[in-house]
A and B are shown apart, each in its own frame.
Chain A
């Protein structure tokens, strides 16, 4: 039996407090710095606008800037554009007998006013204009663009996985052939990760021209950096005991990696890869804004032409796609891990 030495009743031990002077100091410094920053970024103005919007929405104020802005946008966006009307005159080799499925022709009479150069009178007469109406034409077009975006994301993720595996293996401390190789790999990985896709896409579009190619490359480079970093950290954190056991049988690095490390890191790799795929779909929609293909490029074009009903369609399609992909990723994660 050992006896514990008990402290005397009048002077208990001094125990470590969870909040010490340093923590308080850090909070105060952070508060002061944030107060300065708040002024620089006009946080007061933003708060004022939000307050105004809040008051207006409960009827205490006539109107607010946010309300007017949002209201204008929403009324322009809805109803969203689903159908596509194309003047037949603009379609090359139009054949009225072979219309696309579900399409119909619509003829309207349009008043055209022409100034007569002789009489200086405005001459108004009716002109017949024929349109090809496809009831879901624009929606189908946007869905096609969305599919292109998903394809960009899948290719980018595939290239990222293929490229990041060797980088991760030589960039893991326990598997690198030489410290110089380790350092080189880690530097490449940091460089790739430090480049935001939107910015690299901006320059890659200049190099490769508009289209999905630049987008795939921009996304692949960034996600390669991300995956290589986390793959390498997983390899380093793997339990060394199975690794040693395989090495003790005389097996080389490849067998050790395949039989002792890969089974351990596979669940984490699956989760990381699903995350990167999910993120790449969202980012692929964004980098289209700089001309790197997909639905983003369409969005940017319609936005610049003030066709907000079409912008609305595109946003809805992106929103629903991301939601569905999220569900799919969650389902796959449950199945695979």
Chain B
């Protein structure tokens, strides 16, 4: 029952389960009365790249936050590698996931490298956390990841607050990868970046996660990026899955279903790539 957390690189050698992340009939309503998730069931296959598409308020962010245990659904179950993420399992489950945030979620006054290593703080004693004295294995891994996402030694020792938006998201990706996750949850990872940088970051996210065998569940609002990088696109509208298929199936008709609620079906679709 207990998940044995293995250090550093051994996890890469383990056989990965076929399904990385499962949602079973997940529902969530907020006190304001909005039903953010309505009986959502979804399996994210290992090493897949799934993009969540949907209009604002369709439940994309709520779904990702539920998977990360940042909010608790009213009903349903979420499993990572077959283990439910509730209660005692939450910490262990969180270590098997990495999260990339829209606003990067970096501590701006810590250095780039310290931010990456902070991702591994959950498996380190409090004295080491207090003095940010990470074990050698963690430091080594952080350096490798930073190099992989395209940052150098100078940038590794600069405060994260001095980096550009694109660089910050690179740090975010490196941090998400430091625990060798089974799945990376990316909540609008490129929403605050310019289009060219957004392309770079999406490509990096896809490649870096792919190399390490991590599945990616990524919410986006740019349809062109979804088409280009996704293996599979899941459309959400009013908390329900209204589309599920490969990018090739994303026809204007499908987009209309994803982006139009029943009451606004007559409005023309904007920005079809």
Contact = CB atoms under 8 A, between A and B. Distances in A.
Interface string A43-67: 0000000000000000000000000
Closest 8 CB pairs of A and B: A245-B105, A250-B94, A250-B122, A263-B109, A255-B121, A251-B122, A248-B99, A250-B95
Interface string A235-257: 00000011011111111101100
A90 to B, nearest CB: 57
A259 interface: yes
A329 B109 CA distance: 22
A264 interface: yes
Query: Which of the listed residues A244, A251, A254 has the most CB atoms from chain B within 10 Å of its own CB?
Result: A251
B70 interface: yes
A242 B107 contact: yes
A259 B106 contact: no
B129 A255 contact: yes
A248 B70 CA distance: 7
A255 B95 CA distance: 14
A245 B160 CA distance: 14
A247 B179 CA distance: 14
Interface string B89-104: 0111111011101011
A304 B48 CA distance: 85
B94 A259 contact: no
Given A248-B70, A249-B179, A255-B121, A241 B103 contact: yes
Contact of B107 (A248, A250, A254, A264): A264
Nearest to A260: B107
A249 B101 contact: no
Given A245-B101, A250-B94, A259 B121 contact: yes
Given A245-B99, A248-B99, A263 B122 contact: no
A251 to B, nearest CB: 4
A250 B129 contact: no
B106 A255 contact: no
B258 interface: no
Contact of A249 (B108, B110, B119, B126): B119
Contacts of A263: 107-110
A258 interface: yes
Contact of A264 (B99, B109, B132): B109
Contacts of B97: 248
B255 interface: no
A108 interface: no
A247 B68 CA distance: 9
Contacts of B130: 258
Contacts, number: 85
A140 interface: no
A250 B120 CA distance: 9
Contact of A246 (B98, B118, B124, B172): B118
A181 interface: no
B134 to A, nearest CB: 11
13 contacts: A242-B106, A244-B105, A245-B106, A245-B175, A246-B118, A246-B121, A247-B94, A249-B120, A249-B175, A250-B92, A252-B122, A263-B110, A266-B109
Interface of B: 68-70, 90-95, 97-99, 101, 103-110, 114, 118-124, 126, 129-130, 132, 172, 175, 179, 185
Contacts of B101: 241, 244-245
Contact of B121 (A241, A244, A251, A266): A251
Given A242-B106, A252-B122, A258-B130, 16 more contacts: A241-B101, A241-B105, A242-B108, A244-B101, A245-B101, A246-B118, A248-B69, A248-B105, A249-B120, A250-B123, A250-B179, A259-B118, A259-B121, A260-B107, A264-B107, A264-B109
Interface residues of A, number: 19
Contacts of B107: 242, 246, 259-260, 263-264
Interface in A257-276: 258-260, 263-264, 266
Contacts of B129: 254-255, 258-259
Given A244-B70, A254-B126, A259-B129, A249 B109 contact: no
B92 A242 contact: no
A248 B185 CA distance: 10
Contacts of B95: 249-250
Given A242-B105, A245-B101, A245-B105, A259 B110 contact: yes
A252 B95 CA distance: 12
Contacts of A246: 105, 107, 118, 121
B63 to A, nearest CB: 14
B205 to A, nearest CB: 16
Nearest to A259: B118
A279 B90 CA distance: 46
Contacts of A242: 105-108
A260 B104 CA distance: 13
A260 B68 CA distance: 18
Query: Which of the listed residues A244, A247, A249, A252 has the most CB atoms from chain B within 10 Å of its own CB?
Result: A249
A86 B108 CA distance: 63
A217 B69 CA distance: 45
A96 to B, nearest CB: 59
B94 to A, nearest CB: 3
A261 to B, nearest CB: 9
